[in-house]
């Protein structure tokens, strides 16, 4: 049985140490965190406690065999100063999709949302009010059985932590279309936000940086031709009058920003097409002058314009100052989040 959340308040808030105008990304955590355990087939001991360390046994299964998943979402402030969550139910659904793939227990949506609301309610003062800033929310779950040997864990920990983040200053990004390394394949775990996917991406990303790129643009694992996505972003191409994004095929993370962008652009009358996108098609469209914009979408940066794609000895170079659609969407989503623009699609959930 799910119990009431027990709350232990921090006696010593660190909020005075935060400079809201200069927040280092990913390094500042709020005063509290939510923690809950899974054992004997049920979630128990839901608690909000002061943010801090969690002692872990060295034989913890998650460290060795990778049963670990996470989500990334944002909260912002309404005009009335109330926290607003951006499409939290979709994040809950995706978290549970990841859990099932990794043989982990699901967290019921009611508990997920209740925990989010109570935790954010307590740390509401940490939500940066500036446009483009937000409270980044990181729910995560990992195996906690203490034993060696590959098998599914019987016990887990679910945690939610909160991090204030400033606006992502968008320098245009340079992508390397990798012809050798791959991120995911149908039947694999590419659709899950699971730790190993990101570990596997580190070496190719490091090699791409050594060649002057910012990130890898992943191609499919079979033909090494069809574009999948980038780092922690999905990708869009404006080709002629169409806005094209790779169709999710079991190997691409189903981004919630991706779905929001498709919704907005379709509503505005753009022809948005989800289909396979071949790198050769992009090179040809570029040569013909039909490739107008390339941009990534994800919770962290919302929209990142792409100024360069390198593939073998070929280069696609784009003047991101001429982009129209990418900055329009970024502005729209950021303004909806702080109620400067109408929330036409009911994306926001208010924390009372
Ligand atoms: C999280 C993530 C995305 C973007 O998803 P959003 O829901 O838009 O934040 C895209 N690709 C990968 C691999 C991701 O981990």
In a domain, residue 339? The reply is no
List the one residue out of 88, 57, 56 whose CA is nearest residue 71: 88
Please tell me whether residues 326 and 196 are part of one structural domain. Answer: yes
Name which residue sits closest to atom 6 of ligand 1, judged by CA.
255
List the one residue out of 322, 24, 66, 93 whose CA is nearest residue 196: 66
Please tell me whether residues 72 and 188 are part of one structural domain. Answer: no
Please tell me whether residues 10 and 133 are part of one structural domain. Answer: yes
pLDDT at 167: 84
d(CA 346, CA 34): 26
Name which residue sits closest to atom 5 of ligand 1, judged by CA.
255
CATH code where residue 148 lies: 3.30.470.10
pLDDT at 85: 96
Q: How many Cβ atoms from other residues are within 10 Å of residue 79's Cβ?
A: 10
Please tell me whether residues 73 and 111 are part of one structural domain. Answer: yes
pTM of structure:
0.97
In a domain, residue 348? The reply is no
List the one residue out of 168, 173, 171 whose CA is nearest residue 213: 173
pLDDT by 10s per residue, the chain, length 352: 568 999 999 999 999 999 998 998 899 999 999 999 999 999 999 999 999 999 999 999 999 999 999 999 999 998 889 999 999 999 999 999 999 999 999 999 999 999 999 999 999 999 998 878 999 999 999 999 999 999 999 999 999 999 999 887 668 999 999 999 999 999 999 999 999 999 999 999 999 999 999 999 999 999 999 999 998 999 999 999 999 999 999 999 999 999 999 999 999 999 999 999 999 999 999 999 999 999 999 998 899 999 999 999 999 999 999 999 999 999 999 999 999 999 999 999 999 8
Cβ 255 under 6 angstroms from ligand 1 = yes
Please tell me whether residues 161 and 177 are part of one structural domain. Answer: no
Please tell me whether residues 247 and 276 are part of one structural domain. Answer: yes
Q: Exposure of 349 by Cβ count < 10 A (0-12 exposed, 13-18 middle, 19+ buried)?
A: middle
Cβ 232 under 6 angstroms from ligand 1 = yes
* Closest atom, ligand 1, to C-alpha of 234: 10
In a domain, residue 340? The reply is no
Please tell me whether residues 301 and 275 are part of one structural domain. Answer: yes
d(CA 125, CA 319): 40
Please tell me whether residues 309 and 231 are part of one structural domain. Answer: yes
Please tell me whether residues 199 and 321 are part of one structural domain. Answer: yes
d(CA 269, CA 308): 28
pLDDT at 296: 97
Structural domain containing residue 154: 6-165
In a domain, residue 54? The reply is yes
Name which residue sits closest to atom 12 of ligand 1, judged by CA.
232
Name which residue sits closest to atom 2 of ligand 1, judged by CA.
232
Buried b (16+ CB within 10 A) or exposed e, 24-35: eeeebbbbbbbb
Cβ 191 under 6 angstroms from ligand 1 = no
Contact 331, 70 (CB under 8 A): no
pLDDT at 2: 65
CATH code where residue 284 lies: 3.20.10.10
Contact 109, 25 (CB under 8 A): no
Cβ 71 under 6 angstroms from ligand 1 = no
Q: What share of the chain is helix, strand, coil (3-state, %, to 5)?
A: 25, 30, 45
Cβ 253 under 6 angstroms from ligand 1 = yes
pLDDT at 1: 55
Name which residue sits closest to atom 15 of ligand 1, judged by CA.
232
Tokens 């308040």, residue located = 9
Contact 144, 153 (CB under 8 A): yes
Contact 234, 257 (CB under 8 A): yes
Please tell me whether residues 114 and 191 are part of one structural domain. Answer: no
Please tell me whether residues 192 and 227 are part of one structural domain. Answer: yes
Cβ 73 under 6 angstroms from ligand 1 = no
Crossing angle of helices 109-122 and 88-101, rounded to 10° = 130
């Amino acid at each position: 049985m799910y119990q009431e959340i027990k709350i232990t308040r921090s006696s010593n808030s660190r909020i005075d140490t935060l400079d809201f105008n200069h927040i280092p990304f990913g390094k500042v955590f709020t005063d509290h965190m939510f923690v809950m355990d899974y054992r004997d087939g049920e979630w128990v001991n839901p608690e909000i406690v002061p943010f801090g360390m969690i002692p872990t046994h060295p034989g913890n299964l998650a460290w060795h065999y990778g049963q670990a998943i996470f989500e990334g979402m944002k909260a912002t402030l309404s005009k009335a100063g109330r926290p607003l969550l951006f499409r939290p139910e979709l994040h809950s659904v995706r978290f549970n999709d990841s859990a099932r793939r990794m043989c982990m227990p699901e967290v019921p949506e009611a508990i997920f949302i209740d925990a989010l609301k109570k935790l954010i309610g307590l740390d509401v003062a940490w939500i940066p009010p500036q446009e483009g800033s937000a409270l980044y929310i990181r729910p995560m779950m990992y195996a906690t059985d203490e034993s060696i040997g590959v098998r599914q864990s019987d016990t887990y920990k679910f945690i939610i932590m909160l991090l204030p983040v400033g606006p992502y200053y968008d320098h245009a990004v340079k992508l390397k279309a990798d012809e050798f390394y791959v991120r995911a394949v149908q039947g694999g775990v590419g659709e899950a936000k699971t730790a190993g996917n990101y570990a596997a991406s580190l070496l190719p990303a490091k090699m791409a940086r050594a060649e002057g790129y910012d990130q890898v643009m992943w191609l499919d694992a079979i033909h090494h031709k069809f574009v999948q996505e980038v780092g922690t972003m999905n990708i869009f191409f404006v080709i002629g009058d169409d806005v094209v994004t790779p169709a999710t095929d079991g190997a691409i993370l189903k981004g919630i920003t991706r779905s929001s962008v498709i919704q907005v652009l379709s509503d505005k009358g753009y022809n948005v097409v989800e289909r396979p996108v071949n790198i050769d098609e992009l090179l040809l469209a570029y040569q013909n002058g039909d490739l107008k914009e390339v941009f990534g979408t994800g919770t962290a940066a919302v929209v990142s314009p792409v100024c360069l794609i390198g593939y073998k000895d070929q280069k696609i170079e784009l003047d991101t100052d001429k982009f129209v659609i990418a900055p329009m969407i970024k502005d729209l989503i950021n303004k909806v989040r702080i109620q400067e623009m109408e929330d036409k699609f009911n994306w926001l959930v208010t924390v009372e």
